[in-house]
Amino acid sequence: MRRYWLLFSQAVTVLLAAWFIVTTLKPDWVRRPPAFVTQGTGVPLVEAPAPANGPAPPGSLRLAAQRASAAVVSINTSKAPERQPQANDPWFRFFFGDQGEGQMQMGLGSGVIVSPEGFILTNNHVVEGADEIEVTLNDSRTARAKVIGTDPDSDLAVLRIGLDRLPVITLGNSDAVQVGDQVLAIGNPFGVGQTVTSGIVSALGRNGLGINQFENFIQTDAAINPGNSGGALVDVTGQLMGINTAIYSRSGGSMGIGFAIPVSTAKLVLEGLVKEGVVRRGWIGVEPADLSPDLMETFGVKARHGVLITGVLQNGPAAQAGVRPGDVITEVDGKHVTNVSELLTNVAALKPGAPAPFKVQRRDEEVKVTVTPGLRPRQPARR
């Protein structure tokens, strides 16, 4: 009896070891075949088990979309038609007839809730000239919005709504964004409802596009279409990186080239409009020019990058700091500058009255100066 028991126990041990090895190395050999389910048509179908609320699959941007989309709103604007000023003149009506009242002009865009107090960032061109602005949240609540302030130079505007329990987006650090980073664009394209598209950062510091006075765009290939303006560009954690503003397109739809205003710029505009109703930008009183072989020869410039100063306003902030014609500004407050647009943007970001360090190349010598910027004069309205 003892011998039979030993044989039995040894056999069971060998079988268990073999089962363990097979299930570890070749699990397909012991996997149970999927069950066939017959639908109402009588056709046998193979169905996956009902999904559980588990973690997002590898590579999914689900969590970023969920965190950010609640704070992205749709904006609908309306503008009363312009009435012909002579419409009531009998002679005008005799010659031209009754012109009628015209049609209400409607507009569409997106926005981002950035404060539990109801402040919303969007584009100026979304709300410009609107008589009424209605905001629709992702949870279907609606509210009339009030314009707190607009900044045409950056194409940004701040609205406010009076709802409670508002979802708020987390502001990220757009200065840390690099080309190749994954991003999501969230908005209401063509009025179809909130839509999330994905892509990467294609380029940084895009300027010279003739869109805004101050241009420092994040370029992305995430699909941006009409109606996305004012919406959110977020990173893979759902943090706000920029405000979607414009696209390059020959057809009116997305061609993979979209532009967003960095959140670092949007924060400055938001603070200025909310606190003072106007954006106060820095100004140093210089006439800048991009480096060119002719100018470098004329001024005897040895620098290989930076912005050449061809003129300095007498008694202006730069003149008082010792900046001279022929100097090349290479750095503003720790940020490198390579062209006129970057210089204007970085100087405009300085706080008027607060001293800031500049690096200047003067022939063969690098000079460090401290400039106290003044308040940038208001520019005449562009037509």
DSSP per residue, 276-311: TSS---EE--EEEEE--HHHHHHHT---SSSEEEEE
Residues 154-176 as b or e (16 or more Cβ within 10 Å = b): bbbbbbbbeeeebbebebbebee
How far is the CA of 249 from the CAs of 213, 217, 221, 259, 377, in angstroms? Answer: 21, 16, 12, 12, 34
- Determine the pLDDT at residue 30: 57
Percentage of residues in the chain having pLDDT higher than 90: 42
Catalytic residue check, 229: yes
Domain ranges of the chain: 174-275, 282-375
68-107 tens-digit pLDDT: 999 999 999 988 876 655 656 665 554 555 555 556 778 8
pLDDT of 190 reads 86
155 is catalytic: yes
pLDDT of residue 383: 41
3-state secondary structure of 129: coil
Statement: residue 218 has pLDDT above 90 = yes
- Whether 164 and 207 have beta carbons less than 8 Å apart is answered as no
Q: Strand locations in 118-172, DSSP E?
A: 119-123, 132-136, 142-144, 146-151, 156-160
Nearest C-alpha neighbor of 376 from the set 283, 314, 284, 285: 283
Within 13 Å, how many C-alpha atoms sit on residue 174's CB side? 25
Residue 82, sorted as left (phi over 0), alpha (psi -120 to 50) or beta, turns out to be: beta
Give the predicted TM-score (pTM) of the model.
0.74
Q: List the catalytic residue out of 125, 235, 327, 341.
A: 125
Round the average pLDDT of the chain to a whole number and report it.
83
How many whole angstroms separate alpha carbon 62 and alpha carbon 330? Answer: 42
Residue 171: which pLDDT band, with cuts at 50, 70 and 90? very high
- pLDDT, residue 338, reads 85
Give the least confident one: 7-11, 59-63, 64-68, 74-78.
7-11
Q: Which of 229, 254, 264, 341 is catalytic?
A: 229
Between residues 38 and 12, the one the model is more confident about = 12
- Name beta bridge partners: 246: 259
| Per annotation, catalytic residue among 155, 221, 235, 333 | 155
Q: What is the mean pLDDT of residues 6-34?
A: 69
Where does the pLDDT of residue 64 fall: very low under 50, low under 70, confident under 90, or very high at 90 and above? very high
What is the fold of 282-375? Pdz3 Domain (2.30.42)
CATH number of 174-275: 2.40.10.10
* Contact present, 120 and 160 (Cβ < 8 Å): yes
